[in-house]
A and B are shown apart, each in its own frame.
Chain A
Amino acid sequence: MLASTRASVRLTRRSFATAVDVGGLKVAAIDSNQPTVAVTFLAKAGPRYQQKPGVAHALKNFAFKSTADRSALGTVRESELYGGVLSSTLTREHLALTAEFLRGDEEFFVNLLASVVASTKYYRHEYEELVLPAIESEVNALHRDPATHAIELAHALAFRNGLGASLFAAPHTPVTATDVQQFAASAFAKGNFAVLGSGISQSALAALVQHAVSPKSTSPAPTTSATSYFGGESRLETHGGPQTIFIGFGAAGAPAPELAALAAHLDPNPSVKWAKSTSPLLAGEKTSVQAVYLPYSDAALVGLLIQGPTAAGVRESGKAAVAALKGASGVKAEELKSAVAKAKFRLAAGADGRAGVVAVLGSKVLAGSSETSLDAAIASLDKVTSAGFTKAATDLVKNKPTFVAIGDTQALPYADELGL
Protein backbone atom coordinates (compact mmCIF):
# COMPACT_ATOMS: atom_id res chain seq x y z
CA MET A 1 0.00 0.00 0.00
CA LEU A 2 2.84 2.32 0.87
CA ALA A 3 4.45 1.57 -2.45
CA SER A 4 1.29 2.41 -4.36
CA THR A 5 0.90 5.65 -2.39
CA ARG A 6 4.44 6.58 -3.24
CA ALA A 7 3.94 5.75 -6.88
CA SER A 8 0.91 8.02 -7.07
CA VAL A 9 2.81 10.96 -5.62
CA ARG A 10 4.50 12.82 -8.36
CA LEU A 11 6.50 15.95 -8.24
CA THR A 12 4.60 18.95 -9.49
CA ARG A 13 6.38 20.09 -12.56
CA ARG A 14 7.26 23.73 -12.58
CA SER A 15 7.79 24.26 -16.26
CA PHE A 16 5.93 23.79 -19.47
CA ALA A 17 7.31 21.29 -21.87
CA THR A 18 8.70 22.98 -24.95
CA ALA A 19 5.97 24.86 -26.73
CA VAL A 20 4.94 23.21 -29.97
CA ASP A 21 3.74 25.10 -32.99
CA VAL A 22 0.31 24.03 -34.23
CA GLY A 23 -0.50 25.92 -37.41
CA GLY A 24 1.22 29.11 -36.26
CA LEU A 25 -0.14 28.79 -32.73
CA LYS A 26 2.04 28.03 -29.73
CA VAL A 27 0.69 25.25 -27.55
CA ALA A 28 2.27 24.35 -24.24
CA ALA A 29 0.98 22.10 -21.50
CA ILE A 30 2.04 20.78 -18.14
CA ASP A 31 0.43 17.74 -16.60
CA SER A 32 0.95 17.12 -12.90
CA ASN A 33 -1.86 14.63 -12.57
CA GLN A 34 -4.35 17.03 -11.02
CA PRO A 35 -8.02 16.03 -10.99
CA THR A 36 -8.98 19.13 -12.97
CA VAL A 37 -7.78 20.64 -16.21
CA ALA A 38 -7.31 24.29 -17.07
CA VAL A 39 -6.88 25.61 -20.57
CA THR A 40 -5.90 29.24 -21.08
CA PHE A 41 -5.89 31.23 -24.29
CA LEU A 42 -3.30 33.91 -23.60
CA ALA A 43 -3.25 36.86 -25.98
CA LYS A 44 -1.00 39.89 -26.15
CA ALA A 45 -4.04 42.11 -25.73
CA GLY A 46 -3.53 44.02 -22.51
CA PRO A 47 -4.13 47.77 -22.31
CA ARG A 48 -0.51 48.19 -23.38
CA TYR A 49 -1.53 47.24 -26.92
CA GLN A 50 -4.84 49.07 -27.15
CA GLN A 51 -5.40 51.86 -29.66
CA LYS A 52 -8.33 53.40 -27.84
CA PRO A 53 -8.38 53.78 -24.04
CA GLY A 54 -10.49 51.18 -22.29
CA VAL A 55 -10.92 48.83 -25.22
CA ALA A 56 -8.86 46.06 -23.60
CA HIS A 57 -11.05 46.24 -20.50
CA ALA A 58 -14.13 46.02 -22.73
CA LEU A 59 -12.70 43.01 -24.58
CA LYS A 60 -12.00 41.29 -21.27
CA ASN A 61 -15.66 41.70 -20.32
CA PHE A 62 -16.84 40.71 -23.79
CA ALA A 63 -15.42 37.23 -23.35
CA PHE A 64 -17.97 34.37 -23.35
CA LYS A 65 -20.74 36.39 -24.99
CA SER A 66 -22.65 35.25 -28.11
CA THR A 67 -20.59 33.38 -30.66
CA ALA A 68 -21.46 31.65 -33.91
CA ASP A 69 -21.88 28.40 -31.95
CA ARG A 70 -23.91 29.45 -28.91
CA SER A 71 -25.41 32.44 -27.18
CA ALA A 72 -24.04 34.09 -24.05
CA LEU A 73 -26.68 32.31 -21.99
CA GLY A 74 -25.96 28.99 -23.72
CA THR A 75 -22.24 29.33 -22.93
CA VAL A 76 -22.95 29.85 -19.25
CA ARG A 77 -25.61 27.16 -18.89
CA GLU A 78 -23.73 24.54 -20.86
CA SER A 79 -20.52 25.14 -18.88
CA GLU A 80 -22.55 24.86 -15.69
CA LEU A 81 -23.84 21.48 -16.81
CA TYR A 82 -20.24 20.34 -17.28
CA GLY A 83 -19.29 21.91 -13.95
CA GLY A 84 -16.67 24.13 -15.52
CA VAL A 85 -15.57 27.63 -14.60
CA LEU A 86 -14.91 30.26 -17.25
CA SER A 87 -12.92 33.37 -16.48
CA SER A 88 -11.14 36.19 -18.22
CA THR A 89 -8.21 37.98 -16.67
CA LEU A 90 -6.55 41.17 -17.81
CA THR A 91 -3.02 42.22 -17.01
CA ARG A 92 -1.19 45.18 -18.47
CA GLU A 93 0.29 43.04 -21.21
CA HIS A 94 -1.93 40.01 -21.56
CA LEU A 95 -5.53 38.91 -21.75
CA ALA A 96 -6.16 35.37 -20.50
CA LEU A 97 -9.34 33.45 -21.27
CA THR A 98 -9.42 30.44 -19.00
CA ALA A 99 -11.65 27.42 -18.68
CA GLU A 100 -11.23 25.10 -15.71
CA PHE A 101 -13.05 21.79 -15.81
CA LEU A 102 -12.96 18.10 -14.97
CA ARG A 103 -10.85 15.65 -16.88
CA GLY A 104 -12.78 14.21 -19.79
CA ASP A 105 -14.46 17.47 -20.84
CA GLU A 106 -11.42 18.78 -22.69
CA GLU A 107 -13.02 18.72 -26.11
CA PHE A 108 -16.08 20.78 -25.16
CA PHE A 109 -14.12 23.50 -23.38
CA VAL A 110 -11.35 23.80 -25.96
CA ASN A 111 -14.03 24.16 -28.64
CA LEU A 112 -15.82 26.74 -26.51
CA LEU A 113 -12.67 28.82 -26.04
CA ALA A 114 -11.88 28.49 -29.73
CA SER A 115 -15.31 29.78 -30.70
CA VAL A 116 -14.99 32.68 -28.24
CA VAL A 117 -11.72 33.65 -29.88
CA ALA A 118 -12.80 33.09 -33.46
CA SER A 119 -16.46 33.92 -33.71
CA THR A 120 -17.70 36.17 -30.91
CA LYS A 121 -20.36 38.39 -32.47
CA TYR A 122 -19.68 41.59 -30.53
CA TYR A 123 -23.34 42.59 -30.71
CA ARG A 124 -24.06 46.20 -29.83
CA HIS A 125 -26.95 45.23 -27.58
CA GLU A 126 -24.81 42.74 -25.65
CA TYR A 127 -22.19 45.43 -25.18
CA GLU A 128 -24.78 47.79 -23.76
CA GLU A 129 -26.77 45.26 -21.76
CA LEU A 130 -24.06 42.95 -20.43
CA VAL A 131 -20.59 44.37 -20.95
CA LEU A 132 -20.99 48.03 -19.99
CA PRO A 133 -22.61 47.27 -16.59
CA ALA A 134 -19.74 44.88 -15.81
CA ILE A 135 -17.19 47.53 -16.78
CA GLU A 136 -19.02 50.10 -14.71
CA SER A 137 -19.07 47.95 -11.60
CA GLU A 138 -15.36 47.19 -11.94
CA VAL A 139 -14.61 50.89 -12.34
CA ASN A 140 -16.73 51.65 -9.26
CA ALA A 141 -14.87 48.98 -7.31
CA LEU A 142 -11.59 50.57 -8.42
CA HIS A 143 -12.69 53.97 -7.15
CA ARG A 144 -13.46 52.45 -3.76
CA ASP A 145 -10.09 50.73 -3.51
CA PRO A 146 -7.35 53.32 -3.01
CA ALA A 147 -4.55 50.73 -3.12
CA THR A 148 -5.41 49.55 -6.64
CA HIS A 149 -6.16 53.10 -7.69
CA ALA A 150 -2.76 54.27 -6.46
CA ILE A 151 -1.03 51.55 -8.47
CA GLU A 152 -3.04 52.54 -11.58
CA LEU A 153 -2.08 56.21 -11.18
CA ALA A 154 1.52 55.23 -10.50
CA HIS A 155 1.68 53.33 -13.79
CA ALA A 156 0.30 56.30 -15.70
CA LEU A 157 2.96 58.56 -14.16
CA ALA A 158 5.78 56.08 -14.47
CA PHE A 159 5.30 54.84 -18.02
CA ARG A 160 2.80 57.33 -19.53
CA ASN A 161 1.72 55.43 -22.66
CA GLY A 162 1.89 51.71 -23.29
CA LEU A 163 2.39 50.19 -19.84
CA GLY A 164 0.95 53.37 -18.34
CA ALA A 165 -2.47 52.69 -19.86
CA SER A 166 -5.00 51.83 -17.18
CA LEU A 167 -6.39 48.33 -16.79
CA PHE A 168 -9.78 49.95 -16.40
CA ALA A 169 -11.90 51.89 -18.84
CA ALA A 170 -12.82 55.40 -17.82
CA PRO A 171 -16.35 55.88 -16.45
CA HIS A 172 -18.57 56.71 -19.45
CA THR A 173 -16.09 55.13 -21.81
CA PRO A 174 -16.27 56.21 -25.47
CA VAL A 175 -15.52 52.64 -26.62
CA THR A 176 -18.16 51.06 -28.89
CA ALA A 177 -18.82 47.42 -29.74
CA THR A 178 -17.22 48.01 -33.15
CA ASP A 179 -14.01 49.21 -31.49
CA VAL A 180 -13.94 46.06 -29.39
CA GLN A 181 -14.49 43.92 -32.47
CA GLN A 182 -11.59 45.57 -34.29
CA PHE A 183 -9.31 45.20 -31.29
CA ALA A 184 -10.32 41.56 -30.89
CA ALA A 185 -9.53 40.85 -34.53
CA SER A 186 -5.97 42.06 -34.04
CA ALA A 187 -5.66 40.58 -30.55
CA PHE A 188 -6.55 37.08 -31.71
CA ALA A 189 -4.58 37.28 -34.94
CA LYS A 190 -2.21 34.51 -35.85
CA GLY A 191 0.93 34.51 -33.73
CA ASN A 192 -0.52 36.87 -31.15
CA PHE A 193 -1.96 34.27 -28.82
CA ALA A 194 -0.91 30.99 -27.28
CA VAL A 195 -2.76 28.07 -25.75
CA LEU A 196 -1.58 26.92 -22.34
CA GLY A 197 -2.87 23.86 -20.57
CA SER A 198 -2.39 22.40 -17.15
CA GLY A 199 -3.54 18.95 -16.19
CA ILE A 200 -3.57 17.92 -19.84
CA SER A 201 -0.81 16.37 -21.89
CA GLN A 202 0.85 18.45 -24.55
CA SER A 203 -0.03 16.04 -27.36
CA ALA A 204 -3.72 15.82 -26.34
CA LEU A 205 -4.00 19.59 -26.15
CA ALA A 206 -2.19 20.07 -29.46
CA ALA A 207 -4.56 17.61 -31.16
CA LEU A 208 -7.63 19.37 -29.76
CA VAL A 209 -6.31 22.80 -30.69
CA GLN A 210 -5.45 21.69 -34.19
CA HIS A 211 -9.00 20.48 -34.62
CA ALA A 212 -10.73 23.51 -33.08
CA VAL A 213 -8.65 26.60 -33.70
CA SER A 214 -7.72 28.12 -37.02
CA PRO A 215 -6.39 31.61 -36.27
CA LYS A 216 -6.93 34.22 -38.93
CA SER A 217 -3.85 35.97 -40.17
CA THR A 218 -5.72 38.78 -41.91
CA SER A 219 -5.41 41.37 -39.16
CA PRO A 220 -2.01 42.63 -38.07
CA ALA A 221 -1.15 41.98 -34.45
CA PRO A 222 -1.42 45.01 -32.18
CA THR A 223 1.80 46.92 -31.72
CA THR A 224 3.39 48.86 -28.91
CA SER A 225 6.52 50.92 -28.46
CA ALA A 226 9.37 50.24 -26.08
CA THR A 227 8.76 51.45 -22.54
CA SER A 228 10.67 54.27 -20.92
CA TYR A 229 10.41 55.51 -17.35
CA PHE A 230 9.27 59.04 -16.51
CA GLY A 231 7.97 59.39 -12.94
CA GLY A 232 6.04 62.24 -11.40
CA GLU A 233 3.60 63.18 -8.67
CA SER A 234 -0.17 62.83 -8.53
CA ARG A 235 -2.67 63.61 -5.80
CA LEU A 236 -6.30 62.58 -5.65
CA GLU A 237 -8.82 63.88 -3.15
CA THR A 238 -11.13 61.11 -1.93
CA HIS A 239 -12.92 60.41 1.31
CA GLY A 240 -14.04 57.32 3.11
CA GLY A 241 -11.07 55.11 2.28
CA PRO A 242 -7.75 54.81 4.08
CA GLN A 243 -5.08 57.48 3.50
CA THR A 244 -2.83 56.04 0.82
CA ILE A 245 0.53 56.99 -0.60
CA PHE A 246 2.68 55.15 -3.10
CA ILE A 247 6.39 55.88 -3.33
CA GLY A 248 8.16 54.09 -6.12
CA PHE A 249 10.76 54.08 -8.80
CA GLY A 250 10.71 52.41 -12.17
CA ALA A 251 13.32 51.05 -14.49
CA ALA A 252 13.03 50.46 -18.21
CA GLY A 253 14.53 47.35 -19.75
CA ALA A 254 14.08 43.71 -18.81
CA PRO A 255 13.50 43.52 -15.05
CA ALA A 256 16.70 42.69 -13.21
CA PRO A 257 16.65 40.05 -10.46
CA GLU A 258 18.25 42.68 -8.21
CA LEU A 259 14.97 44.61 -8.23
CA ALA A 260 13.04 41.56 -7.01
CA ALA A 261 15.58 41.22 -4.22
CA LEU A 262 15.27 44.94 -3.47
CA ALA A 263 11.49 44.67 -3.15
CA ALA A 264 11.91 41.70 -0.81
CA HIS A 265 14.48 43.69 1.18
CA LEU A 266 12.15 46.68 1.51
CA ASP A 267 9.18 44.64 2.67
CA PRO A 268 8.82 45.44 6.38
CA ASN A 269 6.17 42.83 7.15
CA PRO A 270 7.26 40.04 9.49
CA SER A 271 7.29 36.50 8.14
CA VAL A 272 5.37 35.18 11.11
CA LYS A 273 1.71 35.97 11.42
CA TRP A 274 0.80 38.38 14.25
CA ALA A 275 4.47 39.01 14.96
CA LYS A 276 5.46 42.62 15.63
CA SER A 277 7.83 44.12 13.13
CA THR A 278 10.55 46.43 14.39
CA SER A 279 10.80 48.18 11.04
CA PRO A 280 10.52 51.98 11.27
CA LEU A 281 8.14 51.81 8.29
CA LEU A 282 5.45 50.32 10.48
CA ALA A 283 5.91 52.89 13.28
CA GLY A 284 2.62 54.67 12.59
CA GLU A 285 -0.41 53.36 14.43
CA LYS A 286 -2.31 50.79 12.33
CA THR A 287 -0.35 51.76 9.24
CA SER A 288 0.16 49.01 6.68
CA VAL A 289 3.05 48.95 4.25
CA GLN A 290 3.30 46.70 1.22
CA ALA A 291 6.35 46.32 -0.95
CA VAL A 292 5.31 46.48 -4.60
CA TYR A 293 7.34 44.80 -7.30
CA LEU A 294 5.69 44.66 -10.70
CA PRO A 295 7.89 43.23 -13.44
CA TYR A 296 6.89 43.54 -17.11
CA SER A 297 8.55 42.40 -20.29
CA ASP A 298 10.58 45.58 -20.68
CA ALA A 299 10.18 47.54 -17.46
CA ALA A 300 9.62 47.15 -13.75
CA LEU A 301 8.06 49.21 -11.00
CA VAL A 302 9.38 48.92 -7.44
CA GLY A 303 7.96 50.79 -4.53
CA LEU A 304 6.14 50.91 -1.25
CA LEU A 305 2.43 51.31 -0.81
CA ILE A 306 1.54 52.85 2.54
CA GLN A 307 -1.99 52.94 3.91
CA GLY A 308 -3.24 54.13 7.25
CA PRO A 309 -6.21 55.69 9.01
CA THR A 310 -4.46 59.02 9.64
CA ALA A 311 -2.43 61.22 7.34
CA ALA A 312 0.10 61.87 10.15
CA GLY A 313 0.86 58.16 10.54
CA VAL A 314 1.18 57.76 6.80
CA ARG A 315 3.58 60.72 6.71
CA GLU A 316 5.81 59.11 9.37
CA SER A 317 5.85 55.81 7.50
CA GLY A 318 6.46 57.67 4.24
CA LYS A 319 9.59 59.33 5.66
CA ALA A 320 10.86 55.96 6.83
CA ALA A 321 10.02 54.46 3.44
CA VAL A 322 12.02 57.10 1.59
CA ALA A 323 14.94 56.52 3.96
CA ALA A 324 14.66 52.76 3.35
CA LEU A 325 14.54 53.21 -0.45
CA LYS A 326 17.56 55.52 -0.41
CA GLY A 327 19.46 53.46 2.11
CA ALA A 328 18.89 50.15 0.32
CA SER A 329 22.20 50.48 -1.49
CA GLY A 330 24.07 50.10 1.79
CA VAL A 331 22.64 46.66 2.44
CA LYS A 332 24.59 44.24 4.62
CA ALA A 333 25.63 40.87 3.21
CA GLU A 334 23.35 38.84 5.49
CA GLU A 335 20.41 41.15 4.82
CA LEU A 336 20.93 40.65 1.11
CA LYS A 337 21.02 36.90 1.63
CA SER A 338 17.69 36.87 3.39
CA ALA A 339 16.20 39.27 0.83
CA VAL A 340 17.25 36.96 -2.02
CA ALA A 341 15.80 33.96 -0.20
CA LYS A 342 12.54 35.86 0.34
CA ALA A 343 12.39 36.88 -3.33
CA LYS A 344 13.05 33.30 -4.43
CA PHE A 345 10.33 31.96 -2.20
CA ARG A 346 7.85 34.56 -3.47
CA LEU A 347 8.62 33.73 -7.07
CA ALA A 348 8.29 30.00 -6.49
CA ALA A 349 5.18 30.28 -4.32
CA GLY A 350 3.59 32.59 -6.88
CA ALA A 351 4.12 30.02 -9.60
CA ASP A 352 2.75 27.23 -7.42
CA GLY A 353 -0.89 27.77 -8.25
CA ARG A 354 -2.44 27.31 -11.64
CA ALA A 355 -2.91 31.02 -12.29
CA GLY A 356 0.64 31.66 -11.14
CA VAL A 357 2.10 29.24 -13.66
CA VAL A 358 0.29 31.00 -16.49
CA ALA A 359 1.25 34.44 -15.19
CA VAL A 360 4.92 33.62 -14.72
CA LEU A 361 5.57 31.37 -17.69
CA GLY A 362 2.80 32.14 -20.18
CA SER A 363 4.39 35.33 -21.43
CA LYS A 364 7.63 33.45 -22.09
CA VAL A 365 5.79 30.86 -24.18
CA LEU A 366 4.06 33.67 -26.04
CA ALA A 367 7.33 35.46 -26.66
CA GLY A 368 8.72 32.27 -28.17
CA SER A 369 11.38 32.02 -25.51
CA SER A 370 13.02 28.63 -25.22
CA GLU A 371 13.47 29.09 -21.48
CA THR A 372 10.09 28.18 -20.04
CA SER A 373 11.10 26.89 -16.66
CA LEU A 374 11.11 28.60 -13.33
CA ASP A 375 14.56 27.26 -12.51
CA ALA A 376 16.26 29.84 -14.70
CA ALA A 377 14.49 32.72 -12.94
CA ILE A 378 15.41 31.28 -9.55
CA ALA A 379 19.00 30.72 -10.65
CA SER A 380 19.24 34.35 -11.77
CA LEU A 381 18.25 35.43 -8.25
CA ASP A 382 21.04 33.25 -6.87
CA LYS A 383 23.52 35.23 -8.93
CA VAL A 384 22.62 38.52 -7.23
CA THR A 385 25.80 39.93 -5.71
CA SER A 386 26.23 42.66 -3.17
CA ALA A 387 27.89 44.93 -5.73
CA GLY A 388 25.19 44.31 -8.31
CA PHE A 389 22.48 44.97 -5.76
CA THR A 390 24.08 48.22 -4.62
CA LYS A 391 24.43 49.40 -8.21
CA ALA A 392 20.83 48.51 -9.08
CA ALA A 393 19.49 50.22 -5.95
CA THR A 394 21.59 53.34 -6.54
CA ASP A 395 20.60 53.57 -10.20
CA LEU A 396 16.95 53.09 -9.33
CA VAL A 397 16.71 55.94 -6.83
CA LYS A 398 18.63 58.25 -9.17
CA ASN A 399 15.49 58.34 -11.35
CA LYS A 400 12.66 60.74 -10.77
CA PRO A 401 10.34 59.20 -8.17
CA THR A 402 6.74 58.22 -8.80
CA PHE A 403 4.60 59.55 -5.99
CA VAL A 404 0.85 59.12 -5.59
CA ALA A 405 -1.27 60.37 -2.70
CA ILE A 406 -4.94 59.41 -2.37
CA GLY A 407 -7.21 60.58 0.39
CA ASP A 408 -7.07 63.81 2.35
CA THR A 409 -4.70 65.69 0.06
CA GLN A 410 -4.60 68.67 2.42
CA ALA A 411 -2.89 66.61 5.08
CA LEU A 412 -1.04 63.98 3.05
CA PRO A 413 2.61 64.84 2.38
CA TYR A 414 4.07 66.03 -0.92
CA ALA A 415 6.98 64.12 -2.39
CA ASP A 416 9.54 66.80 -1.49
CA GLU A 417 8.30 66.90 2.12
CA LEU A 418 9.32 63.26 2.45
CA GLY A 419 12.80 63.96 1.14
CA LEU A 420 12.33 62.57 -2.36
Chain B
Amino acid sequence: MAGPLGVSLAPYIRSSPTLSKLFTPVAKWYAGGSLYRQYGLLYDDLLIEERPEVQKALSRLTPRQAYDRQFRIKRASQADVLHAPLPRDQWTTPEQDVRYLLPHVQAVESELQEKAKWDNLDVKRK
Protein backbone atom coordinates (compact mmCIF):
# COMPACT_ATOMS: atom_id res chain seq x y z
CA MET B 1 0.00 0.00 0.00
CA ALA B 2 1.23 3.45 -0.79
CA GLY B 3 2.27 5.49 2.22
CA PRO B 4 1.49 9.13 2.86
CA LEU B 5 4.15 10.08 0.38
CA GLY B 6 2.51 8.19 -2.49
CA VAL B 7 4.20 5.99 -5.03
CA SER B 8 7.47 7.44 -6.19
CA LEU B 9 9.95 6.52 -8.89
CA ALA B 10 12.43 9.06 -7.54
CA PRO B 11 14.69 6.60 -5.68
CA TYR B 12 15.02 4.48 -8.82
CA ILE B 13 15.77 7.48 -10.99
CA ARG B 14 18.29 8.82 -8.50
CA SER B 15 20.07 5.47 -8.38
CA SER B 16 20.82 5.59 -12.11
CA PRO B 17 23.25 8.32 -13.29
CA THR B 18 21.84 8.33 -16.82
CA LEU B 19 18.24 8.64 -15.73
CA SER B 20 18.95 11.30 -13.13
CA LYS B 21 20.90 13.32 -15.69
CA LEU B 22 17.92 13.07 -18.01
CA PHE B 23 15.24 13.85 -15.42
CA THR B 24 16.89 16.52 -13.22
CA PRO B 25 16.24 19.43 -15.63
CA VAL B 26 12.67 18.22 -16.14
CA ALA B 27 12.13 17.96 -12.40
CA LYS B 28 13.51 21.43 -11.83
CA TRP B 29 11.30 22.86 -14.56
CA TYR B 30 8.29 21.05 -13.17
CA ALA B 31 8.87 22.29 -9.62
CA GLY B 32 9.27 25.85 -10.87
CA GLY B 33 6.22 25.56 -13.07
CA SER B 34 3.88 24.15 -10.46
CA LEU B 35 3.64 27.65 -8.93
CA TYR B 36 3.75 26.73 -5.21
CA ARG B 37 7.07 28.55 -4.97
CA GLN B 38 5.44 31.70 -6.30
CA TYR B 39 3.06 31.52 -3.33
CA GLY B 40 5.97 31.27 -0.90
CA LEU B 41 5.39 27.61 -0.01
CA LEU B 42 7.83 24.74 0.32
CA TYR B 43 7.14 21.38 -1.28
CA ASP B 44 6.56 19.72 2.12
CA ASP B 45 3.81 22.26 2.88
CA LEU B 46 1.78 20.50 0.15
CA LEU B 47 2.06 17.05 1.73
CA ILE B 48 -1.40 15.67 2.48
CA GLU B 49 -1.83 16.46 6.15
CA GLU B 50 -4.91 14.41 7.01
CA ARG B 51 -3.06 11.20 7.80
CA PRO B 52 -1.93 9.95 11.20
CA GLU B 53 1.68 9.52 10.03
CA VAL B 54 1.92 13.10 8.82
CA GLN B 55 0.14 14.44 11.90
CA LYS B 56 2.69 12.65 14.07
CA ALA B 57 5.51 14.01 11.91
CA LEU B 58 4.11 17.53 12.21
CA SER B 59 4.14 17.19 16.00
CA ARG B 60 7.88 16.51 15.80
CA LEU B 61 8.79 19.78 14.10
CA THR B 62 10.71 22.28 16.18
CA PRO B 63 8.56 25.21 17.39
CA ARG B 64 10.34 27.43 14.87
CA GLN B 65 9.65 25.06 11.97
CA ALA B 66 6.00 24.73 12.95
CA TYR B 67 5.63 28.50 13.19
CA ASP B 68 7.24 29.09 9.81
CA ARG B 69 5.02 26.47 8.22
CA GLN B 70 1.89 28.13 9.58
CA PHE B 71 3.13 31.51 8.39
CA ARG B 72 3.78 30.26 4.86
CA ILE B 73 0.40 28.57 4.63
CA LYS B 74 -1.43 31.67 5.87
CA ARG B 75 0.47 33.93 3.51
CA ALA B 76 -0.27 31.63 0.57
CA SER B 77 -3.97 31.48 1.50
CA GLN B 78 -4.12 35.24 1.56
CA ALA B 79 -2.38 35.43 -1.81
CA ASP B 80 -4.89 32.91 -3.12
CA VAL B 81 -7.76 35.07 -1.91
CA LEU B 82 -6.24 37.97 -3.80
CA HIS B 83 -5.92 35.78 -6.93
CA ALA B 84 -2.30 36.81 -7.43
CA PRO B 85 1.10 35.31 -6.63
CA LEU B 86 3.28 37.00 -4.03
CA PRO B 87 5.72 39.74 -5.01
CA ARG B 88 8.78 38.24 -6.63
CA ASP B 89 11.09 38.86 -3.64
CA GLN B 90 8.89 36.59 -1.49
CA TRP B 91 8.99 33.62 -3.86
CA THR B 92 10.65 30.47 -2.56
CA THR B 93 14.04 29.95 -4.17
CA PRO B 94 15.04 26.37 -5.10
CA GLU B 95 17.71 26.52 -2.32
CA GLN B 96 15.05 27.33 0.29
CA ASP B 97 12.86 24.45 -0.85
CA VAL B 98 14.15 21.80 1.58
CA ARG B 99 12.25 18.68 2.61
CA TYR B 100 11.87 19.59 6.28
CA LEU B 101 8.98 17.21 6.90
CA LEU B 102 9.98 14.23 4.78
CA PRO B 103 12.55 12.74 7.22
CA HIS B 104 10.00 12.89 10.04
CA VAL B 105 7.31 11.21 7.92
CA GLN B 106 9.74 8.50 6.88
CA ALA B 107 10.79 7.96 10.51
CA VAL B 108 7.16 7.64 11.63
CA GLU B 109 6.44 5.24 8.77
CA SER B 110 9.37 3.02 9.64
CA GLU B 111 8.33 3.06 13.30
CA LEU B 112 4.84 1.90 12.37
CA GLN B 113 6.28 -0.78 10.13
CA GLU B 114 8.52 -1.95 12.94
CA LYS B 115 5.59 -2.03 15.34
CA ALA B 116 3.61 -4.13 12.86
CA LYS B 117 6.61 -6.43 12.52
CA TRP B 118 6.91 -6.97 16.27
CA ASP B 119 3.13 -7.34 16.65
CA ASN B 120 3.01 -10.08 14.02
CA LEU B 121 6.27 -11.78 14.86
CA ASP B 122 6.41 -15.54 14.52
CA VAL B 123 8.59 -16.69 17.42
CA LYS B 124 10.48 -19.91 16.81
CA ARG B 125 12.16 -21.88 19.57
CA LYS B 126 15.83 -22.40 18.80
* A pairs with B: yes
Question: A residues bordering B, Cβ < 8 Å?
Answer: 71, 73-74, 77, 81, 124-125, 128
Asked whether, in the complex, the Cβ of A73 is within 8 Å of the Cβ of B60, the reply is no
6 additional A-B residue pairs with CB within 8 Å, beyond A71-B111, A73-B118: A74-B114, A81-B123, A124-B60, A125-B59, A125-B60, A125-B104
Question: B residues bordering A, Cβ < 8 Å?
Answer: 59-60, 62, 104, 107, 111, 114-115, 118, 121, 123
A232 to chain B, nearest CB (A): 39
Partner of B111, one of A73, A81, A128: A73
Asked whether, in the complex, the Cβ of A73 is within 8 Å of the Cβ of B114, the reply is yes
- Set of chain B residues within 8 Å of A71, measured between Cβ atoms: 111, 114
- Set of chain A residues within 8 Å of B104, measured between Cβ atoms: 125
CA of A214 to CA of B18, assembled, Å: 44
CA of A299 to CA of B104, assembled, Å: 48
- Set of chain A residues within 8 Å of B115, measured between Cβ atoms: 73
CA of A108 to CA of B123, assembled, Å: 17
- Set of chain B residues within 8 Å of A74, measured between Cβ atoms: 114, 118
Question: Which residue on chain A has the smallest CB distance to residue B62?
Answer: A124
Question: Which residue on chain B has the smallest CB distance to residue A80?
Answer: B118
Asked whether, in the complex, the Cβ of A77 is within 8 Å of the Cβ of B60, the reply is no
CA of A71 to CA of B115, assembled, Å: 10
CA of A128 to CA of B121, assembled, Å: 28
A415 to chain B, nearest CB (A): 45
CA of A128 to CA of B60, assembled, Å: 9
CA of A125 to CA of B59, assembled, Å: 9
B64 to chain A, nearest CB (A): 12
Query: Which 5 pairs of residues, A with B, have the shortest CB-CB distance?
Result: A125-B60, A77-B118, A73-B115, A71-B114, A73-B114
CA of A74 to CA of B110, assembled, Å: 12
Question: Which residue on chain B has the smallest CB distance to residue A71?
Answer: B114
CA of A73 to CA of B121, assembled, Å: 13
CA of A125 to CA of B96, assembled, Å: 24
A-B contact pairs, 19 of them (CB 8 A): A71-B111, A71-B114, A73-B111, A73-B114, A73-B115, A73-B118, A74-B114, A74-B118, A77-B118, A77-B121, A81-B121, A81-B123, A124-B60, A124-B62, A125-B59, A125-B60, A125-B104, A125-B107, A128-B60
CA of A58 to CA of B60, assembled, Å: 19
B91 to chain A, nearest CB (A): 31
- Set of chain A residues within 8 Å of B107, measured between Cβ atoms: 125
- Set of chain A residues within 8 Å of B123, measured between Cβ atoms: 81
Question: Which residue on chain B has the smallest CB distance to residue A70?
Answer: B114
- Set of chain B residues within 8 Å of A125, measured between Cβ atoms: 59-60, 104, 107
CA of A73 to CA of B62, assembled, Å: 23
Which among B104, B114, B123 has the greatest number of chain A C-beta atoms within 10 A?
A: B114
CA of A141 to CA of B26, assembled, Å: 60
A86 to chain B, nearest CB (A): 16
Which among A73, A124, A125 has the greatest number of chain B C-beta atoms within 10 A?
A: A125
A126 to chain B, nearest CB (A): 10
- Set of chain A residues within 8 Å of B114, measured between Cβ atoms: 71, 73-74
Which among B104, B107, B114, B118 has the greatest number of chain A C-beta atoms within 10 A?
A: B118
Question: Which residue on chain B has the smallest CB distance to residue A78?
Answer: B118
Question: Which residue on chain B has the smallest CB distance to residue A76?
Answer: B118
- Set of chain A residues within 8 Å of B118, measured between Cβ atoms: 73-74, 77
- Set of chain A residues within 8 Å of B121, measured between Cβ atoms: 77, 81
CA of A77 to CA of B121, assembled, Å: 10
A296 to chain B, nearest CB (A): 39
